[in-house]
Structure 1
Amino acid sequence: MTFSYEIGIAAGICFVVGFGLLNFGVLTSKSPMYQTLNFLGAVGFTYTAISPFNPGLFITEVVWAIVALYGLWKIWAKRPDPAPEVPAQQEMS
């Protein structure tokens, strides 16, 4: 097996584990783990589509990775900010 095959197997595992956990109700589509598994799977399959070049798979996986990154960004952007620092009040004389 070449390194490309190993990456393809790992990418497939990421997709199947993420999809399975989603369908069994362990993860939701808003879960960082689900989006990370999708991103890693897409990046892995994108790599395997390079040699020999498979344009259909390459384009699909690049778009998939971008969508997964967008999902991760939405999750992290909506996280509540930590408690803001309250400036110390100055005593009034």
Structure 2
Amino acid sequence: MPLYQAVSVIGSVLLLAAYAGLQTGRLNPSTSYPYQLCNLGGAICLAYSVIQPFNSGVFLTEVCWSLFSIVGLVKLLRMRDARRATAELDPPEEGARPAG
């Protein structure tokens, strides 16, 4: 199997895994890094696979899919950082034992 075909199969499996996880409730796009990473990896693989011979429609779709996945990952990272900052500002509850 040529490399571009193997890469396209990997990309399809990643995108289908993300979609299956979404539909079965195992992955949540708002809170799941694996969901976003599967979408990003799958889109990059499929974009690579249509470079030779070039397919402009599929390539455009996969570039946009990648960008949307990056936006989702950035959102997740910002949410994580905001939760950490909030946790650092909250004083410990009365009677709570210090960590460690």
Note the residue ranges of structure 2 that are not aligned, 5 or more in a row: 90-100
Which consecutive aligned stretches of 4+ in structure 1 deviate over 6 angstroms post-superposition?
Answer: none
Cα offset for 1:56? 0.2
The corresponding residue for 2:63 is: 62
| CA-to-aligned-CA distance 1:19-47 (integer Å, 9 cap, x gap) | 00110000111211101000000000000
CA RMSD of aligned residues (A): 1.1
Return the match for 1:81 from 81, 84, 87: 84
Q: Which residue of 2 aligns with 1:41?
A: 42
- In structure 1, the residue matched to 2:22 is 22
User: Could you tell me how far apart the structure 1 residues matched to 2:33 and 2:67 are?
Assistant: 15
TM-score with structure 2 setting the length: 0.80
Structure number having the greater helix percentage: 2
- Matched residue pairs, number? 84
Letter in 2 for 1:54: N
Structure 1 residues not aligned, in runs of 5+ = 85-93
Larger radius of gyration: 1
